[in-house]
Structures are given as structure tokens and as C-alpha cells.
Amino acid sequence: MDFTFNEEQSLIQDQVDQFVQKEYDWETRQSLSNSELGFGEDNWKKFAELGWLGISVSEDSGGFGGSAIESMLIMEAFGKGLVVEPFLETVIMAGGLIDDHGSDQQKSSFLEPAIAGEMHLALAYAEPQSRFNLSDVVTEAKADGDNFIINGYKSVVMNGPSADQIIVSARTSGTQLDENGISLFIIDANASGLDKTNYKTVDGRRASDLTFENVSVSKENLIGDQDKGFEILDSAIDKAILAISAEAVGAMEVLYKTTVEYTKTREQFGTAIGKFQVLQHRMVDMFMEYEQCKSLLYMATMKHEEKAEDAKKAISGLKYQVGKAGKFIGQQAVQLHGGMGVTDELNVGHYFKRLTTVGTIFGNTDYHLKKYTSL
Amino acid sequence: MDLKFSEADVTFRQEVVTFLENEYPEDIKEKQDKRIPLEKEEIVRWQKILNQKGWFAINWPSQYTNQEELTVTQKYILQEELAKANTPTTIPFGMGMCAPVIYTFGTDEQKEKFLPSILNSDVWWCQGYSEPGSGSDLASLKTKAELSGDKYIVNGTKTWTTLAQHADWIFCLVRTETTEIKQEGISFLLIDMKTPGIEVKPIITIDGSHEVNMVYFDNVEVPAENLVGEEGQGWNIAKFLLAHERSGIAGIAALKRELKRLKELSAEIPLGESTLLEDSQFRNKIEETEIELTATEFTELRTLAAMSQGGSPGAESSILKIKGTELQQTISELFVEMLAYYAHPFYLENEIGSNETVGPDYAAPVMPHYLNYRKVSIYGGSNEIQRNVISKAILGL
């Protein structure tokens, strides 16, 4: 058993940490989040130049052949700075899916430009009625010669506004809740009949709702086999859960540490409020919840890498813990900062908001507890 | 012991229902039902309607309202029906806070000058208590009022001042003397917001709204006659007021309405072949909340019954503050959980209720409400402070 990172992994960890510390201060983050685009185009180019976008992509697909461990390290560092660049959406979710299951032509058309920082991607898997169930799909794709015709609706597609290409789950056979009969298509965001409603999300990021009205897509853009998209989607979301959990762990670390520092300097009743035992114990609990998340993160990431039999169960356990701990740490960080914690000006509230959305994205605690039980 | 309502109470309830059917303005109702934040004018209009019926300042002694005070049961029924109809929350700063101080501690001149305009919602009050360095430790406040002839000269900063942007007047705790025991040098002062030297700056909160403010005082001249009670009596007045503030803070009737709404809406949310309400995990949380809410309701009723026998709201009101705010937060959290992804699209106050929003039509205000309600366990004496009060005053620790 070994919990140390190899030299290359330590190097990338340092590099991303340095970037967040030196080039991603709070004001920068806020101005990027509040900009029209919602993140920094220059940053994105930089990530591409430094090789971060391709680090976990297999060498066959034009990447550097790293593992989920590299992704974890990058995401954890991003979590510390609440980085808004859509690394999760473009690289991990959509990019990872194409890397694992795309055709050579799909890899060269979509993954290579994405790694080079020239193309943005998104994964559209949720529908108004589906909640977290990836197999609850009403959007349909009907074969029509060499094309499929897509009709339906996708909800809260993260990075939707910037995405040039969007991977969409659609039903090619079966009924609404069947795992079998779901297919994945990669669709040009400017395709005729595809309508985007773009908006900000509460965590300072961007998303879209998508309407498909007789959108025509070539058979060449089918990813994997027809009707067999569920397993592909499910494994892509597993990777995404590992990545977003790493981001959450980074955010939790900042929150508990910021809170400890604040209570050392904030004085009431003639003493630092950190001297009050009730608050000390609260912060100890925050710290322990963070540590427990980190432990499950490492465990689940390694099980995933080793393709362990119980890797999926480990991932659901992790997501449950991240949801629970994220809520507790976020809420208590706000509570212990008092009125300041609810201001837009202080970063604490923004970390809390991101942990709140992370708790929901890819399934909340109820969903993963149930999934954990069933696995 | 008896839980039944008398015939007179049943008649009274019908009177409230009829009043709401006839007098609750359609335009305000529509905004309320969509959870769109109200304008000042709308809040004032509704308060005036309530007052015309004699149902605004229901806790004031009859000599100041010129009508008979409602019984404890009638007040309970009234509040329940108002909340059930989702009428606007009345603004407490004038009617519920400043007025009780004035009619309890003020001079006849002060009562004549201030009470009628509060009763008729002609003057909007805000509360100047917290300061940047004085939150939980309120008595450490530094805003200074120095007597110079027949005026006080006020200097200092107040913060978290709710709706100060609408306010005509502010009631403040100020330091008139530096004393060894810090509580003894505090006084209660009424200040016209139009006085030169006052500046109001917005504080934007994490839900994106402008509800609270900083209020700066730079050599503000206040007539000495605006002092309520005597110099140094401010802390006792504040303690009296905090007890008043807490006794209404549980907001039971509104919680019952929101929990019912949560049930109704979650019954419409599909979950596979069933609904979210039928999901045992979600359902258990709703039912646990309902039990806690019922317990809190009857704790409040017991407290009110004791008060009507001549007791005053004491440390028991801290129980209601803690339980009420925890319930407010839990329910706001369950709404977020219910919406799942559709809690995430984020709109500013002026966009809520527009056609631009995505998801269910009730979705847009849900997350802002959850975020905004993190304040309730912080304000009015944080829940940590309330537990200190209970441990000291009730448990004697």
C-alpha cells in the first residue's frame, strides 16, 4: 500500500497549486466568473500549453497517458481556488468519454482540438424528469438514412454556453427508464434545430437548457454502439464524480482553514472567538469531515484505477460523504463567520455555494446512499 | 387542558378568511405566490390594509390602538390564516420593536409623536444595533453620542441594518458614556435618517440581494429629546426588545405553510415511475421536520399561554428562536433538494418571476431563499448565543 505520489504527479500538483496561489487570487476569480464568458480564455490556453488538458488522456488519443490520479490532483488544486474554467466539463466528462469510447475519427475531430484548448465540450445527460437517473431518458433519436433525428430536451448542461460540441444521450429504443436503448451522439452546438437557453449558475459558473427540434446528426457521430450508451455514460459520470469530489476536497480544505484563521482574529467578549469550546469542537468536526472525504477520495480513485470489483460502490460512498461533509463544512464556515459569511464580498459564501452545487451534481446524498446499498 | 376552539374563535377565523378574500390585493398576492420580492410601496399598502381592520399592531396595548386587544387564541388564528394565505410578512422594526420601546419607556411627547405614524405605516423604521466590531458581543458597541447643549453628536458605524434603504428613521443603541461595565454606558436614541451626516451603503448578500446595509454617522446632530428612557438605560431596553424580537421569530404559521407546499410540490416531481414524495428517504425527512415543527408550535403555545397569565417572554423565547430558525433552514434546504439540478440556475431579484427562467415556474427563488436563510441562525443573537442564554438562565450553568 502506498499513498505517495510519483515524481511526475508531485510536479503537476505543485504546478497547479502555484498557478492557483499566484495567478488566481480571489479578485481575479470573481472578475472571471462575472465576465461575459464566465472564465478566462487566456487561462484556458495556458492550461493547454502546460499540457494539463491532455494529462489524463491516453496516448493513443493524443494525450500524455496519465491516470485519474493526475486529474484528482488538478481538480483538488482547482477546488482550492474555486477555479471556474470548465476543466471538468470539457476534459473529464466529455473528453474522457470520447477518449474511452470514441472512434478514431471522433478523437481527431473532437478530443485533439479539446486538448489543444481550441474546442469546448459538454455532456448533456439530465432531463427535467430524470433527476440523477442516467437511464431516465425521454429525448429520442430516430434513424433516418445515414442520420439520426433528435427531438427532446436536456437540463442544466454545465458549460453549455461555451461548448462547441455537445454529447447528448437519446433514446433509440426501449421505454423511458430502460438502460438498454440509450445512445450517445456528439452534436454541433450550432446545429439547426438546437436551441440553447444560457444562464449563470449559483456557483458562479455557466449552464444551458437545450431544446432539440428535429436536429439531424450523422451516424458517424454516434459514440459507441447504438442502444449501448448507458454503460458509457455511467462510467463517464463515475470519473466525473471522482474529479468533482477532488475539487470539493480542495474547497473544504480552504473553508475549514479560513474559518480557523478567522476565529483566531475575530474578538468578541474580550477574547478571540476561537477560544470558545463550542466553536473549537465545531471546527474539529469540520476538519475531521474534510479528512474523511480525502480518505474516501484516495480510496475510490485507486479502486477505480485498479478496476476493482467494488469501485462503483466506493465511488457512491465517496459522493455520499462529499455531499454530507460539504454541506456541514459549508454551512458551519458561514455560521462561524457570522454576518460576514453571508456577504457576497467574502469568498466564504462562494465556497459554500460551490459545495452546495457539488452536493447535487451527479447525485445527492440520498441518491448515492441508495445506490451504495444496491451495489 | 383542551385543544378545541370555542364557537367565538371559529367565527373569528371565518371573519379573517372573509377579510382575506375581500381585502388582500390581487397584485400583491400574485407576487407573493411567485415569491417575487415586494416593493416598499406594496409592503406599506398591505400593512395599511391590515391596520384599517385593526390587525396590524396586534400586540400593542389597546390604549395606543383605540381598539380591544385580541385574545391569545385570536392572535394565533389570525397569524395562521395570514400565513396560510401567504400574505406579506409585516416589517417588525417600527411596529414590533421601536413602538413597544416607546410605549414602555418613552415620554408622552414621544408616544404622541411616533406611535400614530408607526401604526399607520407612514414612517419606516430600521434598527441600528450591530457594528462591525460588535456582533454577538453587542454591548461592546462604539457608536458614540455626545451631549452638546440640547443635541447629541453621533459618530460611528452600524451594520447589517435591514432595509435601511427604505427607512425614514432609525432607532440606535449608542454609547453616551465610557463606563467600567460596558452595558451601563449605552443609551437608546431615535434618529431621523434625513439628518445630514448619515450615509447608507448597501451590503450584497450571497443570494445576490440587497437587504442589509452599513449606516455611517459622521457628526450627526440629534435633538436630545429623541433619547428614549434615561442615559445608560439602553441596555435594559435592548434586553426587553430582544425578548420581544425572539418571541415572534419562530414564524410557525409560515413554516406550516411552506412544509405543506413542499409536500404538494414534491408530489408533482417524478421519480422513475413514482414521485419524490413517495420516496422513503425524502418522505422521512419531511415527516421528521413535521414532528419537530409540531413540537415547536406547542412549545410556543405553552409560552404564549404562560404570558397571557402575566408572565413575560424570558429565556424560553430562546428555545423558539433556535427551533424556529433551524426549521426555517431545514425546510429551505428540502426545497433545494427537491429541485435537484433546477436549484442551480441563478437569477437576480429583478429576474425572478420573469419568463427568462428555466425549470419549474417556482424554481428561481428557491436557492436564493436557502442561501439567504443562512442568516437566521446568525441574526437576532446567534443560535450559539441563544444556547448560552438557555444554559445560564434556565439550566443555571
Whichever domain contains A191, its CATH number is 2.40.110.10
Name the B residues in 255-274 with CB < 8 Å from any A CB. Answer: 269-273
Spatial distance between the Cα atoms of B68 and A366, rounded to a whole number of angstroms = 52
The three cell numbers of residue A41 are: 480564455
> Closest Cα to residue A132, out of B79, B276, B217, B264?
B276
pTM to 2 decimals?
0.96
Q: Is the pLDDT of residue A251 over 60?
A: yes
A115 in the same domain as A35: yes
A370 in the same domain as A238: yes
Q: How many CB atoms lie within 10 A of CB A277?
A: 7
Domain range for residue A201?
122-229
CATH number at residue A71: 1.10.540.10
Determine, for residues B371 and A342 on separate chains, whether the beta-carbon distance falls below 8 Å: yes
Binned at pLDDT 50, 70 and 90, residue A24 comes out as very high
pLDDT, greater one: B241 or A54: A54
Determine, for residues A342 and B204 on separate chains, whether the beta-carbon distance falls below 8 Å: no
A330 in the same domain as A251: yes
Q: How many CB atoms lie within 10 A of CB A27?
A: 9
- State how far the alpha carbon of B151 is from the alpha carbons of B155, B224, B227, B229, in Å: 13, 5, 10, 16
- State how far the alpha carbon of A309 is from the alpha carbons of A71, A239, A300, A306, B349, in Å: 22, 15, 11, 9, 49
pLDDT of amino acid B350: 77
Chain A residues with CB-CB distance to B341 below 8 A: 126, 131, 155-156, 360-361
A210 in the same domain as A181: yes
pLDDT of amino acid B313: 64
Last residue of a domain, one of A229, A255, A289: A229
pLDDT, tens digit, 9 for 90 and up, residues A124-135:
999 999 999 999
Name the A residues in 309-368 with CB < 8 Å from any B CB. Answer: 331, 334-335, 338-339, 341-345, 349-350, 352-353, 356-357, 360-361, 364, 366
Beta bridge mates, A168? A124, A185
R_g over Cα of chain A = 21
Task: Look at residue A362 and tell me if it is in a domain.
Answer: yes
> Closest Cα to residue A366, out of B344, B9, B337?
B337
Q: Is the dihedral of CA B339, B33, B80, B67 positive or negative?
A: positive
A314 in the same domain as A179: no
Mean pLDDT of A362-369: 98
Q: What is the pLDDT along chain B (397 residues), one digit of tens a residue?
A: 777 889 999 999 999 999 999 999 999 999 999 999 999 999 999 999 999 999 999 999 999 999 999 988 899 899 999 999 999 999 999 999 999 999 999 999 999 999 999 999 999 999 999 999 999 999 999 999 999 999 999 999 999 999 999 999 999 999 999 999 999 999 999 999 999 999 999 999 999 999 999 999 999 999 999 999 999 999 999 988 877 655 566 789 999 999 999 999 999 999 999 999 999 999 999 999 999 999 999 998 888 777 777 766 677 888 999 999 999 999 999 999 999 999 999 998 778 777 788 999 999 999 999 999 999 999 988 999 999 999 999 999 9
Task: Look at residue A370 and tell me if it is in a domain.
Answer: yes
- State how far the alpha carbon of B283 is from the alpha carbons of A50, A88, A112, A363, B95, in Å: 49, 33, 47, 17, 39
A284 in the same domain as A151: no
Task: Look at residue A88 and tell me if it is in a domain.
Answer: yes
pLDDT of amino acid A78: 98
- Closest chain B residue by Cα to residue A351: B206
Task: Look at residue A2 and tell me if it is in a domain.
Answer: no
Spatial distance between the Cα atoms of A38 and A59, rounded to a whole number of angstroms = 31
Element containing residue A3 per DSSP (H, E): none
Q: What total of structural domains would you count in chain A?
A: 3
A304 in the same domain as A339: yes
> Closest Cα to residue B185, out of B131, B243, B135, B144?
B144
The three cell numbers of residue A127 are: 432531463
A269 in the same domain as A364: yes
Determine, for residues B281 and A207 on separate chains, whether the beta-carbon distance falls below 8 Å: no
Last residue of a domain, one of A92, A119, A146: A119
Determine, for residues B342 and A155 on separate chains, whether the beta-carbon distance falls below 8 Å: yes
User: Which DSSP symbol is given to B313?
Assistant: -
A352 in the same domain as A254: yes
pLDDT of amino acid B198: 98
Task: Look at residue A132 and tell me if it is in a domain.
Answer: yes
Determine, for residues B281 and A136 on separate chains, whether the beta-carbon distance falls below 8 Å: no
Task: Look at residue A157 and tell me if it is in a domain.
Answer: yes
Helices (H), B213-348: 234-247, 252-266, 280-308, 316-339
A170 in the same domain as A262: no
Task: Look at residue A347 and tell me if it is in a domain.
Answer: yes
A351 in the same domain as A240: yes
A213 in the same domain as A127: yes
| Contact status, residue A295 vs residue A318, Cβ threshold 8 Å | no
Determine, for residues A132 and B358 on separate chains, whether the beta-carbon distance falls below 8 Å: no
User: Which DSSP symbol is given to A107?
Assistant: I
Determine, for residues A268 and B137 on separate chains, whether the beta-carbon distance falls below 8 Å: yes
| Contact status, residue A206 vs residue A162, Cβ threshold 8 Å | yes
CA distance, residue A268 to nearest chain B CA (Å): 5
Site of grid cell 443555571: B396
Last residue of a domain, one of A185, A207, A229: A229
R_g over Cα of chain B = 22
CATH number at residue A261: 1.20.140.10
